[in-house]
Every structure is written in structure tokens, then in C-alpha cells.
Structure 1
Amino acid sequence: MPSRRVLLAAFAVVTAANLLANATGSATGELLTKPLLMPLLAAYLWRAGTDRGAQPDRLVLAALAFSTGGDVALLGDGDAAFLAGMALFLAAHVCYIKAFTRGGAAAALRRPPLVFVPLGYAVLTVAALAWMWPGLSDAGLAIPVAGYAVALATMASTAAAHGWRVGLGGALFLGSDLLIATGVAEVGTLPGPPIWVMATYAAGQALIVTGWAARPTAPAPVTPAAAPAAP
């Protein structure tokens, strides 16, 4: 398998190609690049674990697999494709939440200053849903998006417990999905070429994966069978 640097460079190149495809409206370019993004990050995570003599986190790998499925689903058009993509990304967020919680997020978020992070994301989520609710209701998607938003905010909150890189990645992932929701609700779009959703999504996922791969691992406990014999 290529080195971590090569895999990360490949991810950056494919991301740039995908953003160019979005900016120019190239459906073929998007079709060729978007399904490759998360598998490249999964390969990076796998190689990072191998280099450190550890197994890659299966929950994070599962999150990337579900994200790949969501990326492919959202290449389609219509409500069915959108709902399928949202369901797959919901599964990805559940996997991330389990991984982050297993890594100690629940305890960390009960102590200041991180105790204010879930509160901030809750306020942001309620405000965003209130702003978008009429448009989401007209599209018949208000309830599914609201449920998804709760999982998304929980993922971003638990990510914040694992350092600035993973935390920023979770925030960017949330921002990317918020941009999608504003488009669905037809309440506004950012100026410039239509690259912001994929730019924040790719950056967010990359920060989560590289930050998670770089976190310190606890030394394996010494069992009686492996302990050195007494002199």
C-alpha cells in the first residue's frame, strides 16, 4: 500500500479535481471523482494504523464506508436519492459518535470549557431549523432533516472532545450539511462557484481522519504471561 503522504496527496488531487468539476458543472468529472474521496481517506487511516502497529478504528472505517455510499447516492437527483444519501450519512454520524464516545467524549464534555460545546451546537441547530423550517416543510423534508440535524450536532459535539483537528473537522462537516439544507429549503446560497459544500465536506472528513489517526494510543497492558520473569 502507498505511504500515508502519497495517499493524502492523492486525496488532495482528487478533491481539487472534484471541486473543479463542481465549479464547471461537469457531471462526468463529479461522477469520476466523488466516489474516490472517502476510500482514499480510509486507505490513509488503514496505513496510519499499520505504520503504528495498531488496527485501524473499525467504527471510523465504517463511517467512511457509509459516507462513500452517501456520496454515491447524492450523485442522483430527486427526493429518493436525497433521502437515501441522508440515511447513509446518518449511519456515518452514528459510527463517528460511537467512536468518539468510546474514546472518552462523554466524560470530557461534562467538564468546562467543553461543557459549553454541546450547548452551542444545540442553539445553532435549533436556530438553523427554525430559519429553514418553512422551506423544508414545503419540500416535505422538515422532519427527516430535523432528526438528521440532531445526530449531526451530536457528532460535532463529541468530535470536539478529541483535539482541535477532529473538532474542526466535525464543525466543517456540520457546516457542509447546513449548506445542503439551506439549498433544499431555498433560503440562500453562498456567492461564487458551487464548491462550498464539497470543500467543507472534504476538509472536514480529512481533518477528522488525520486527527483521529494522529491521536496518542495507550500502551498495551502487560499481562502476567507477557511479564518478564523475576530474577
Structure 2
Amino acid sequence: MVAVKSPWLIAFGVVSVVHLALNAADATPWDSITKCFIAPLLAAWVLEQHGPRLLVAALGFCFLGDLFLELGDDLFVVGMAAFAAAHVCFIRFFVLRGALAQLRAKPWILVVYVAAAIGLVVWAWSGLEVGLRPIVPVYAALLLGTASTSLATDLRAGIGGACFLVSDGIIALGEADRIDKDATGTGLAIMGLYIVAILLLTTGILSREKRTIAAGAGFDPTIRTDCWPRLPQQM
């Protein structure tokens, strides 16, 4: 309950609601400004809760992605690269927490997400600019990586990973002119799903880490020997 009352988390909720309202009203540049506060506020809450630094790094890259995407179409690929780095952080975290073993036990997760990612790329492919075509499949692979490893590790985080995939999938379809990317509803759907995605990924990760500590499983993810959280060495 104390964590929920954190001023950082409250600020995240307020700014998110304000941003969605500004987005719906097309109130530029205020919608862009509020957008760039969303991920940093959530990262500040993670730091307050002594959460994993990989999660802080992922949210930091999300902030950079938001920033570059708002600075203009010329930086679209740079923004995608920042979000790609965020997904690498998410995937790395879940792999360290045993996601690969869980995926081997539940292969249907990977099958479903691989099919979804392939379907998304195929649907968008012919409408994409030539310069984006080599990038989109790589980014789609990272999206399915976050979605599948998060679901294999924690249900709440897994729902967040799925929301991230759908949100960025809508962006890809908009860039391919499969949907109207300038429509108010499209922007609200993208941002609404994105906000839910990073919130569920973050709370899912923090909740799991706290349960691990409480269970006394032999390691404390808040204690690190370097800048990255690591699993304990097997004796």
C-alpha cells in the first residue's frame, strides 16, 4: 500500500491521464511534453522501490524513444532504436529470471507470438517505406521477445508485454498506411496501450521481485555486485 501512495506513482497516473486528454484534444505541444514525462516518472518510482536497474534502463530507453519520436519524422528510426534497446533490457531481465526454461515448458506462448509478429510484418510490408523494411522485422522480433518472455515469467507483466506489441503494431500499420495514423482514435489507442504496457511490466516485475525476497529463495535482486542485476551462481 505504501508503494501505491508514492508521489512518483501518483504523478505518473496524473500525467498519463492529462496526456491522454491532451492527445485527444490535439493540444500541441503540450501533449508531446507530457508524453516525455511518463516513462521517467515510472522509472523514478522503480528507483524509490529499489527495483532492478535493468528495469530502470528499459524505462530510460522508453523515454528516449518518446523524445525522439516527438522531435520529428526525421528521427523516427532513432526513436525505434531507443525502444529496441528498451526491449533488449526487458528480454534480458526476464531471461535472467528463468523465462527460457518456462518457454520450453510452454512452447505455445512462443508459437502464438511468432505467428502474430509474422502476420503483422506481412500485413504491413508492402506499404512500408523501403528504408523501414529491414528494420521492422528486427523490431517485431524484439516485441515478440518481450511479450513471450514476460508472459512466461509473470502474468501481469505478460499482459503488459502483449499491450506493448499491440501498441507498436498499430504504429507499424499506420506507417504502412493500413490504418489512419493521424486519427484521434489511433493516437489514443497507441498511447493508452503503451501506458498500460509499461505500467504492467513495471508492477509485474516489482511484485515478482518482492515475492522472491519474501520467500527467501536464496538471492535478493536489490543486492548487486555490478551495474546489472544477476542471478546467484549455482553452488
Q: Distance in 2 between matches of 1:202 and 1:139?
A: 30
Amino acid at match of 1:166: A
Q: Distance in 1 between matches of 2:130 and 2:206?
A: 39
Q: Distance in 2 between matches of 1:202 and 1:91?
A: 18
Q: How does 1:126-205 map to 2 (within 5 A)?
A: 126-136=118-128, 138=129, 140-189=131-180, 193=185, 194-205=187-198
Q: How does 1:75-114 map to 2 (within 5 A)?
A: 75-78=70-73, 80-111=74-105, 114=106
Counterpart for residue 108 of structure 2? 116
Amino acid at match of 1:81: L
Counterpart for residue 227 of structure 1? none
Residue by residue, what CA displacement relative to the aligned partner does 1:53-82 show, whole Å, maximum 9, x if unpaired? xxx21111110111110010010222x311
Residue by residue, what CA displacement relative to the aligned partner does 1:14-49 show, whole Å, maximum 9, x if unpaired? 011111111111122123211111111112212223
Unaligned 5+ residue runs, structure 1? 50-55, 223-231
Which one of 61, 68, 93 corresponds to residue 56 of structure 2? 61
Instruction: Please tell me whether the aligned partners of residues 19 and 31 of structure 2 are also in contact (alpha carbons under 8 angstroms).
Output: yes
Amino acid at match of 1:71: D
Aligned residues: 211
Instruction: Please tell me whether the aligned partners of residues 23 and 184 of structure 2 are also in contact (alpha carbons under 8 angstroms).
Output: no
Amino acid at match of 1:67: C
Q: Distance in 2 between matches of 1:132 and 1:31?
A: 26
Instruction: Please tell me whether the aligned partners of residues 139 and 184 of structure 1 are also in contact (alpha carbons under 8 angstroms).
Output: no
Q: Does 1:25 align with 2:26?
A: yes
Counterpart for residue 223 of structure 2? none
Quote how far apart the aligned CAs of 1:135 are. Answer: 0.5
Question: TM (normalized to structure 2)?
Answer: 0.84
Quote how far apart the aligned CAs of 1:140 are. Answer: 2.9
SS state at 2:126 partner: helix
Please tell me whether Structure 1 or Structure 2 has the larger radius of gyration of its CA atoms. Answer: 1
Instruction: Please tell me whether the aligned partners of residues 70 and 85 of structure 1 are also in contact (alpha carbons under 8 angstroms).
Output: yes
SS state at 2:87 partner: helix
User: Identity percentage over the alignment?
Assistant: 36
Q: Distance in 1 between matches of 2:176 and 2:88?
A: 24
Amino acid at match of 1:147: V
Counterpart for residue 232 of structure 2? none
Quote how far apart the aligned CAs of 1:162 are. Answer: 2.1
SS state at 1:188 partner: coil
Q: CA RMSD in A?
A: 1.9
Amino acid at match of 1:161: A
Amino acid at match of 1:187: R
